[in-house]
A and B are shown apart, each in its own frame.
Chain A
Amino acid sequence: MNLDYTDEQKAFRDEVRAFLDEKLPARLVEKGRAGRAFDKADHEEWHAILNERGWLAGNWPVEFGGTGWDAIQRHIFEDEMTRAGAPRIVPFGLAMLGPVLQKFGSKEQQDYWLPRILAGDDWWCQGYSEPGAGSDLASLRTEAVREGDHYVVNGQKTWTTLGQYANMIFCLVRTSREGKPQEGISFLLIDMDTPGVEVRPIVLLDGSAEVNEVWFSDVRVPVENLVGEENKGWTYAKYLLTHERTNIAGVGFANAGLANLKRIARAEQDGGRPLIRNPHFAARLARVEIDLMAMATTNLRVVSAAAAGQAPGAESSMLKIKGTVLRQEINALTRTAIGPYAMPFQSEAVEGTNEEAIGPDYAGPVTAQYLNNRKLSIYGGSNEVQRAIIAKSLLEL
């Protein structure tokens, strides 16, 4: 047992730090710290900087233009990124579609789409969920019917994150009604500029507009855009879902959130002393921190096993649950910490206007973040679904 990074890993970490020091635009860090949403241009700017350094595709092999990092290196990189306050790498093309194309796509698809992902030519979004198919994704009904050298797509996707920025969507569509529902699903790449595609924003309860409905009416998609084989899409989607996701615990986000919470709790006064000295508040804070210290190691244990070649299975379910619940608790404690200043609706936090914050600067985004992060335990496989996976595959119940 040895909890330290190797010298090589430490050198890598220093290299990442130096890069971030030099290249991460202060403007973006400030924006993130103020709790304002990054827009399309912000993400594109940061992606381009990373791409120039060759560090945009942390989980791609070198042959496709990726870094070829192992799980530990990826972990170090992600950790340093969150520590520095960098915008997260938008996952849809890089973390989700890329690996699927690399494993199941044709040579032509790989040659065409992968470089475009790196160059930022396409903005991808994920079209899985439907109004009637959430946890029970296999019941999806958006239909693709083969007509000559096209598929004709009809149906509706929903909850499509950042679909408003996207020009491409990768979809699970129904191509057969025979056999089990999982057996009639295909994986299709759809150009969102095709006639018949319509995107409508969904406003979330914090006022943000990050998700959308996407409607398809008689959308013609060339058959070249089918990934792999027809009716095998479920296998590809599952590969994507279980594809090792080192960052699923969100340790870096939790650490950053905890540091922010402590800063606020030191600044807030409660009965003539800093809030952080209130024993009941301090107890809740300590419980979070204790849990987080252990989770960071649980995460590293899974990461190390992955670096040694073991594909994590239900362990990522464990990390997802613990990580999301911890982050949500940090959000709730932060809301408690700002007291009555949780009440103003601070639209600048949501809409990015330049009005001066009401109350202390740090209060602006807190309530919106608390509300918005209720999503963490819903999306990416709800925490109930994750528990069922643990029960089945780790506990064999």
Chain B
Amino acid sequence: MNFDLSDESRMLQDGLRRLLSDRYDRATRDAARDAPTGFVPEVWAALAEMGVIGALFPEDAGGFGGTGFDIAVVFEELGRAGAVDPLIDTGVLGGGLLAAFGQGDMLEGVIEGSVQLAFAHGEPGSRYDLSRVETTARRDGDGWVLSGRKAVVVNAPAADHVIVSARTSGEVADRDGISLFLVPAGALDIRAYPLVGGGAAAEIALDDLRAGELLGPEGGAFDAIATASARATLAICAEALGLMETIRGLTTDYLRTRKQFGQPIGKFQVLQHRMADVLIEIEQARSAVINLAGNIDGDDRDRHVSAAKNLIGNAARLVVEESIQMHGGIGMTEEYDLAHLAKRLTMVDHRFGDTLHHLDRFIALSAA
């Protein structure tokens, strides 16, 4: 048993931490917020140059990493910095699906940092259910016609290509019969908007759209979608962990320095105890991320996905609410760093399934 990172992982971690602490100042975050894409291209270029995108993929896909621990290291650092760059969307989801279906050329562009992707899977009524796809695709000559609605497609405003899921056969919640289509973003009708906690997304209306090519086997995309989502869940859990660590640091600093009644508020035992509980839950979150990272390619993957996402959803809420509360009024202000971090951490529960979804899923998988 060894819980130390490998030397390569440690170098990646150090380098990325340095890059982000140099790059992620207030001005960058404001620029990202004001950009229609929700991020700053220079930061993206720097991430690509450092090899951060390549670290998400194994060598046979043109990367130099791709293990669960590689993903965990990268995203914990992004979280620590409160970074908003669409590495989950272009990298883990989009890149992961390209890799699954042998799209080496475009994946090379992703790893170099020249291609942006989005994965349009969720729909207005699908909530967090991966197999619930109502959007349809039907053959038309040698092309396809797509119809339906895609909801909260993160990074769609920046994407060069959008990978759209659609049903080519089966019933609305069947796993079989789901296909993927690679659609040039220019062909899409999107309504773009910013996200709480940073980044941008869009609603996509597919009204008999004749565009895009089939990606992977017709009707047989579910397993690849589940794998990409599992890895994306690992990524967002690790990001949440990094966010929690930074928030914990901010809050303990504040408890040490803020004085009321002639003493630092951190001297009040009631706050000490609550901060101790926060620390315990963050350590639990770290262990859940480690469990998931170690099992991401294993047989028990899905139970670990749900265990981690459930635990982290609960921990995130505790960390957000306690840290705001213990800051008092300052914790409510947009200007203070906590606001961004707390909002980003709060939104973690709304992607790839919330605590409730994963509780149900964990129970179902454990009973099987």
B332/A378 in contact, CB under 8 A: yes
Are A378 and B328 in contact, CB atoms less than 8 angstroms apart?
A: yes
Nearest-CB distance from B80 to chain A (Å)?
A: 20
| Contacts A202-B333, A204-B333; A135 near B359 (Cβ below 8 A) | no
With a cutoff of 8 Å between Cβ atoms, the chain A residues found around residue B125 in the complex are 269
CB-CB under 8 A for A205 and B333, given A342-B350, A343-B152, A359-B151? yes
Interface size, chain B (Cβ < 8 Å): 50
CB distance from B68 to the nearest CB of A (A): 25
Q: Does the CB pair A340–B351 fall under 8 Å?
A: yes
Q: Which residues of B contact A371 (CB under 8 A)?
A: 343, 346
Q: Which residues of A contact B355 (CB under 8 A)?
A: 336
Chain B residues positioned under 8 Å from A379 (CB to CB) = 329
CB distance from B273 to the nearest CB of A (A): 11
Residue of A nearest to B151 (CB): A340
**How many chain A residues touch B (Cβ–Cβ < 8 Å)?**
49
Instruction: Check A345–B193 contact: CB distance below 8 A.
Output: yes
Q: Which of B203, B271, B334, B359 has the most CB of A within 10 A?
A: B334
Interface 0/1 of A331-346, CB less than 8 Å to B? 0100110011111111
Secondary structure class of chain B's binding surface, majority of residues = mixed
Question: Which residues of chain A have C-beta atoms less than 8 A from B127's C-beta?
Answer: 268-271, 339-340
Task: Provide the residues of chain B in CB contact with A317, threshold 8 Å.
Answer: none
Question: Which 6 pairs of residues, A with B, have the shortest CB-CB distance?
Answer: A205-B339, A136-B260, A203-B334, A340-B152, A345-B194, A342-B350
Query: Known contacts A205-B332, A340-B128; can you find 9 more A-B pairs with CB under 8 A?
Result: A205-B339, A205-B343, A280-B356, A335-B350, A336-B354, A342-B350, A345-B196, A374-B325, A384-B271
Q: Is B368 on the interface with A (CB-CB < 8 A)?
A: no
Contact A343:B270 (CB < 8 A) given known A358-B191, A359-B151: no
* CB neighbors of B among A326-372 (8 A): 328, 332, 335-336, 339-346, 358-360, 367, 370-371
Complex: how many Å from CA A269 to CA B335? 37
B261 within 8 A of A: yes
User: Across the interface, do A378 and B196 meet the contact criterion of CB distance under 8 Å?
Assistant: no
Q: Does A377 contact B325, Cβ atoms closer than 8 Å?
A: yes
Q: Which residues of B contact A343 (CB under 8 A)?
A: 152, 154, 195-197, 201, 347, 350-351
Q: Is B349 an interface residue (CB 8 A)?
A: yes
Chain B residues, Cβ within 8 Å of A335: 346, 350
Q: Is B95 an interface residue (CB 8 A)?
A: no
CB-CB under 8 A from A370, the residues of chain B are 346
Residue contact B122 to A205, C-beta cutoff 8 Å: no
Assuming the A-B contacts A281-B356, A343-B201, are A136 and B332 also in contact, with contact meaning beta carbons closer than 8 angstroms in the complex? Answer: no
Q: What are 26 A-B pairs with beta-carbon distances under 8 A?
A: A132-B259, A135-B261, A135-B328, A159-B329, A268-B127, A269-B125, A270-B127, A271-B127, A336-B356, A339-B354, A340-B128, A342-B196, A343-B196, A344-B152, A344-B193, A344-B194, A345-B193, A346-B193, A370-B346, A371-B343, A374-B321, A378-B325, A378-B328, A378-B329, A384-B268, A384-B270
Contacts of A382 in B (CB 8 A): 325, 328
Which B residues are in CB contact (< 8 Å) with A280? 356, 359-360
**In the assembled complex, B173 has its CB within 8 A of some CB on chain A:** yes
Whether B343 lies near A344 (C-beta < 8 A) is: no
Closest to A279 in B: B360
Partner of B329, one of A129, A359, A367: A129
A272 CB within 8 Å of chain B: yes
Query: What mask results when residues 376 to 396 of chain A are scored 1 for a CB within 8 Å of chain B, else 0?
Result: 011100111001000000000
Task: Please name the residue on chain B nearest to A332 by beta carbon.
Answer: B317
With a CB–CB cut-off of 8 A, which chain B residues contact A278?
Answer: 356, 360
Tell me the bound Cα distance from A202 to B329 in angstroms.
Answer: 11
The answer to whether the Cβ of B331 comes within 8 Å of any Cβ in the partner chain is yes
